[in-house]
Structure 1
Amino acid sequence: MSYDFAVWEGDASAGEHSTAATFEDLFTRYLDADLVAPTPRIRAYSEALAARFPDDQSDDTPWAAGGPSSNCSGPILYVAVSFSQAEQVGVVTERLAQEHDLVFFDPQKAPTAPINRGEVTVTTSRGRVALPDRWAFFVSEELRNFDGYVVVDSGRDHSFAQARNENGTLTLEYRDGSPQQHYQVQGIDLGDVTEALSQWAENRHQFIDKHTWERLTLWD
């Protein structure tokens, strides 16, 4: 049994849903596909981590599926650690990430679906779908395709948030009641979209203050 950690180049101050979405995106692009050469910063980090926990095949190695040097690709490193040594290795992995100004992420603690399951409905190009357990991954996959969209209706009358991929550009909208309270922002990144939709499902609206919105009219 193993415990996994990820480290990548990015914004360490991003919200938890944004960070989870970034992880899903980087994992799909750089680890699910053929590995590429690590960036200089990730290479330096993997060498520092291997210096603390040698990248070898000894009986006491903490690495469950190869060490740092064989598990980095582009801007991300992803390692599996034996469960018995996860706490010790995790502390060092996180500390070194901070020293190298990198993002540390524990996938086992990633946020899952929004908590307001009783009222939330989610609709995509495939129709209404069950609320997924892997929320960040779900949004990422739906919006990866041109013309993909996700609508989150939290059960309040005429109130919803939705995002769509328009030929590679992500657009986020929300409507809070009346048609006069319908806004959109274009060119938003995937992490912010995921965070916004999840907040909307939980009746939290902090994401609104992060962006400059355009009000939509009935003729838009």
Structure 2
Amino acid sequence: MSYDLVLLPSGVASSPEAVDDYLTGQDGKPAGDTVTAIAAELDERNAALPEADSFLGAPAADGVLGDALFVSTPYDAIGHTRSLLFELGTPHGYAVWDPQLAWLADPAGSVPAAVTHGGAGEFPYLTKQLVDLWIPELGQPGPYLIAETADQHYIQTYRHPDGHFDLEYREGSADKHFAATANDPRIVADLIWSWANGDRSGFDALDWQRLTF
């Protein structure tokens, strides 16, 4: 069984329905130069690996559809393949669509960050749409999210089984390391997005305590 990921141009869709409409509209269109080149690079990298380490379930070149690229990958290679799509697609203004989870990672309006989603792995940027999707859905086995924008500059949250969240941020040094708790995932999502954008105006909504170790 394989897992599907899709590259599509940034800004062409903002909802699952719009993604489906866009991809349907690509049927029968000539193969785009950018996705053709990305597919060739994926196939070249895959061919350089031992068969046991293959990250493609089918040749990427077969997945070009107009200006979109469908990529099939084994389940144990999802994180690696997604990282490659970000690496190769983001510089050319391409978004990554995950049809299984209905997640659209679009670089438009994003904040560069090293993001770790406890259940899905690593992402190279944060968007408001993704934060709003991710936080209410956090759960076992990895109910946490971390976003780091520089060394020792990060915000993270952990969702407990009863639904409440621990929220923590650090801004470079031990005296700027704070923690709080919250029950509303919308507040947590808003604060994470605000923090990533350098906005602390809403942080007084929680009772922050400086952490000491």
Shorter-chain TM-score tier: 0.3 to 0.5
User: Which structure has the higher relative contact order (CA within 8 Å, separation 6+)?
Assistant: 1
TM-score by length of 2: 0.43
